Chain A
Amino acid sequence: MGVPDLIIDPALKYWVLVPISIALLVFALLRHTIAILTSPSPKLQPLAKFRELEGLKSAQVFKRNYWVLPKHDFINRQSLHVKRLTDGSLLAEDPNNEPQNPLDSNGMDGMMDMAKGQFGNMIAQTAMMSWVNFFFMGFVLMKLPFPLTLRFKQMLQNGVATDDLDVRWVSSISWYFIASMGLVSVMNVLFNDESMGEQLQQQMMLQGGQPPPMMLGAPKQDKVMLAEANDIRIISYESVLDGVEQRVVELYS
Chain B
Amino acid sequence: MDKPVKYAQSIQHNTKTLQYVHDFTSLIFGISAGILQLESLNGFLFLFISFALVSSLFTISHCQLQPSRYFESPLKSLYVDDLARYLTAFLMSWTLAYALVQS
Contact = CB atoms under 8 A, between A and B. Distances in A.
Nearest to A11: B103
A143 interface: yes
Interface string A106-150: 000000000000000000000000000000000001111111000
A189 B96 CA distance: 17
A42 B92 CA distance: 37
A186 B20 contact: no
A146 B44 contact: yes
A145 B94 contact: yes
Given A145-B43, A178-B95, A185 B103 contact: no
A156 B91 CA distance: 15
B27 interface: yes
Contacts of B48: none
A226 interface: no
Interface string A1-33: 000000111101100010001000000000000
Given A189-B23, A189-B27, A143 B98 contact: yes
A189 B40 contact: no
Contact of B26 (A21, A142, A147, A185): A185
A184 B84 CA distance: 12
B78 interface: no
Contact of A188 (B19, B94, B98, B102): B19
A9 B100 CA distance: 11
Contacts of B102: 8, 142-143
B23 A185 contact: yes
Contacts of B85: 184-185
Contacts, number: 79
Given A181-B91, A188-B19, A188-B23, A145 B100 contact: no
Interface of A: 7-10, 12-13, 17, 21, 141-147, 175, 178-179, 181-186, 188-189, 192, 194, 197
30 contacts: A21-B96, A141-B99, A143-B102, A144-B98, A145-B33, A145-B38, A145-B43, A145-B98, A146-B40, A146-B44, A175-B95, A178-B91, A178-B95, A179-B92, A181-B88, A181-B92, A182-B88, A184-B88, A184-B89, A185-B23, A185-B26, A185-B88, A185-B92, A186-B23, A186-B89, A186-B92, A189-B20, A189-B23, A192-B20, A197-B19
